[in-house]
Structure 1
Amino acid sequence: MKILVVGAGAVGGYFGGRLLEKGEDVTFLVREGRKQQLEKTGLVIKSMHGDVVLSPKLLVSGEASEPFDVILLSMKAYHLDAALKDVNPYIGPKTVVVPLLNGMAHMKKLTEVLGEQQVLGGLCFVEATLDADGAVVQTSAIHDLVFGERSGEKSDRMTRIADAFSGTKANFELSENMDQAMWHKYLFIATLAGVTSLFRSPIGPIREDALGAVTIRQTLEEVAAIMKTVDAPLGEGIVDGNWDKLHSIAGSMKSSMQRDMEKGLSVEAEHFYGYLLEVALENGVGAPTLEKIYANLRIYEAQRSLI
């Protein structure tokens, strides 16, 4: 299959790189500056699962190419509109798009622009960042990408994609309950990103502090309550399950949002928390902890804009 990865940052570079390392036909759609960097250094992955230096095929928006079979969207949510314009020439009638963005707000836009049939469900769990030289640095045991039909159907195209995604050094998993998986990921990452960015700390010190642990629990419960008002298919006991997960992951774990703040980059405040608080307001759900997390991110963005 011809695979296009939109972005060669931490997420796209890691999972696209693992597919390329296996021998799949992978091209990265990147900006000119990143293209020049990758042409000079190669796509460098430094990981506990194996280091590799690759020579990827690269496209810059506007360059000609035949349509691709699978497109992985790995950019931040605030780049989605631009990415949809950039990727449009490379979408054919049978192209499927796998979004790896966090949250759920992007799904409506994707289906409106591309159509229901061309948008699959997707998510990933990976602790990765780009270092000063543009190398992808992946730092924990977790490196999972989950994909599937949003209807839960195990279609022929899913079988073909699963075959292409198999046999890599990352975990690519076909799910038959993708809608629930995306909401569960949203609950987990909204909590992890929220508390680590609020306290400017990895998860370990937060959960070890009594009031920090209370904040974790309150965030989980508030987000779950908001999600239930829009009939999100949350599994029984998911709050307790995520509580246990947040206490079992490495204490050094940071969210990508926290890492972006440390680098002075923009954050996905509206996509993550503005969306949830809008739903909360519409449905009369109180979310005082989430409001503090959102305010923290808004204040950060306001200060960042002054620099």
Structure 2
Amino acid sequence: MTTTPLTVAVLGPGGVGGLIGGLLARDGHRVVCLAGEATAAAIARDGLRVRSAEFGEFTARVEAATELREPVDAVFVTVKETALAAALDRLPAEVLGTGIVVPLLNGLDHMAVLRERYPAARVVAGTIRVEAARTAPGLIEHTSPFAAIELGANAEPDSPVAEFAEQLRHTGLDVALREDETAMLWSKLSFLAPFALLTTRHASGIGTVRTEHRAELLAVLDEITAVTRAVGAPADAQTLLASFDRIPGTMRSSMQRDVEAGRPTELDAIGGAVLRAADAHAVAVPTIARLVHDLTESANR
């Protein structure tokens, strides 16, 4: 894998998938974007156009289709959780075969769904930390000074996932391997849940949250730390707080952007996942429960 160009499918070439697909194509790999007819047609015609302070501004020529029609080396699943069930029809298990499947979705529940649907494939847990958005079909705006991927796999250099990770690093992405899948997924969720819930609830960037609503932020961090430890993953509230204090104050969550655009949100995949884990382990999370309740009520108005 480290010397031969790969064929990689991207299911859902939005902000995250479009950025990864564009970087892979620019680095010489064959990329097939799987999307609806209009989006697929636009990408086939115009390519993936990326605007990034980190990676520059470029257009990458890729293929596009509404459904996978041949086996690939790997596929990134980068749709929103709310669109996952319908999107998987574009990725037939019998066509995919034994390729590597890397979901970069928020939450936890998608892992069981994918492993049941693609038993022959290597479904590798993944997370990404990035702020990127699709502003038009095939047009990707990457606004964070980072794009960091973690993959749940051992670091043996001759393993397929380790080789795949090396290919991804060559594109410029920051890629790390984590042997403890549970710790990796909860490390992401323990940051994402407070970030998404609070920026969406207060309709503001994280800078406003950490100054004007700091007491609430501290309460949420204490609660998410307790849940994370209860499921068997390491967590520290002060380390989380340092992360929140370090990121650019203008950063907003994708959940917040979805609310502003009137789109379905990943509230259940993010906040709901925390509440279900808290209930299963008898951990009290009153602040998180209130935020989820308030956001649910707001969405139903």
Global fold match (TM > 0.5): yes
Instruction: Report Cα offsets for 1:105-155 as digits up to 9, x if no partner.
Output: 222222222239621121101111122565211112011122242xx3535
Equivalent in the alignment of 1:234: 234
Equivalent in the alignment of 1:11: 16
One of 31, 36, 42 as aligned partner of 2:41? 36
Equivalent in the alignment of 1:220: 221
Gap change, CA 1:283 and 1:148, over 3 Å in 2: closer
Deviation at 1:83, TM superposition (A): 2.5
- Determine helix, strand or coil for the equivalent of 1:131: strand
| Separation in structure 1 between the aligned mates of residue 53 and residue 88 of structure 2, nearest angstrom | 33
Equivalent in the alignment of 2:297: 299
Query: Given the two structures, how large is their TM-score scaled by the length of structure 2?
Result: 0.90
Matching of residues 67-86 of structure 1 within 5 Å: 67-86=71-90
Equivalent in the alignment of 2:139: 135
Q: Which amino acid aligns with 1:67?
A: P
Matching of residues 1-307 of structure 1 within 5 Å: 1-49=6-54, 50-61=56-67, 65-89=69-93, 91-115=95-119, 118-132=122-136, 135-149=139-153, 152=154, 154=156, 156-209=159-212, 212-231=213-232, 233-235=233-235, 238-303=236-301
Query: Given the two structures, how large is their TM-score scaled by the length of structure 1?
Result: 0.88
- The 8 Å contact of residues 199 and 205 in structure 2, kept in 1 or not, is answered as yes
- Determine helix, strand or coil for the equivalent of 1:129: strand
Instruction: Report Cα offsets for 1:196-252 as digits up to 9, x if no partner.
Output: 01111000011112xx11111111121222233332x224xx321111000010111
| Separation in structure 2 between the aligned mates of residue 255 and residue 279 of structure 1, nearest angstrom | 22
- Determine helix, strand or coil for the equivalent of 1:140: coil
- The 8 Å contact of residues 68 and 90 in structure 1, kept in 2 or not, is answered as no
Instruction: Report Cα offsets for 1:4-45 as digits up to 9, x if no partner.
Output: 111110010011111111111211111112112223433111
The count of aligned residue pairs is: 294
Greater shift, 200-209 or 283-292, is seen at 283-292
Gap change, CA 1:186 and 1:116, over 3 Å in 2: farther
| Separation in structure 2 between the aligned mates of residue 80 and residue 126 of structure 1, nearest angstrom | 20
| Separation in structure 2 between the aligned mates of residue 227 and residue 91 of structure 1, nearest angstrom | 37
| Separation in structure 2 between the aligned mates of residue 133 and residue 6 of structure 1, nearest angstrom | 14
| Separation in structure 2 between the aligned mates of residue 217 and residue 116 of structure 1, nearest angstrom | 43
Gap change, CA 1:134 and 1:67, over 3 Å in 2: closer
Q: Which amino acid aligns with 2:49?
A: V
| Separation in structure 2 between the aligned mates of residue 285 and residue 68 of structure 1, nearest angstrom | 43
Gap change, CA 1:290 and 1:116, over 3 Å in 2: farther
Gap change, CA 1:266 and 1:243, over 3 Å in 2: same
Gap change, CA 1:117 and 1:38, over 3 Å in 2: closer
Deviation at 1:275, TM superposition (A): 2.3
